Amino acid sequence: MAKKVKAKKIDLLYQRLDEALQQGSKIHIETVNDSYTGTPVHLDPKFIEIVIFSSSRDDEGDEFHKRTAWLIRLSHISAIAYPTEAWSKERLEDLIEIEKLERD
Domains of the chain, first to last: 2-103 (2.30.30.100)
Burial letters for 33-68: b for 16+ Cβ neighbours within 10 Å, e otherwise? eeebebbbeebeeeebbbeeeeeeeeeeeeeeeeee
What does pTM read for this prediction? Answer: 0.65
pLDDT of 68-86, one tens digit each?
A: 899 999 999 999 888 777 7
Which stretches within 26-78 are classed as H helix?
A: none
Cα distances (Å, whole numbers) of residue 29 to 36, 40, 45, 96:
5, 11, 16, 31
Note whether 77 and 33 are within 8 A (CB): no
pLDDT of 83-103, one tens digit each?
A: 777 778 888 788 788 777 777
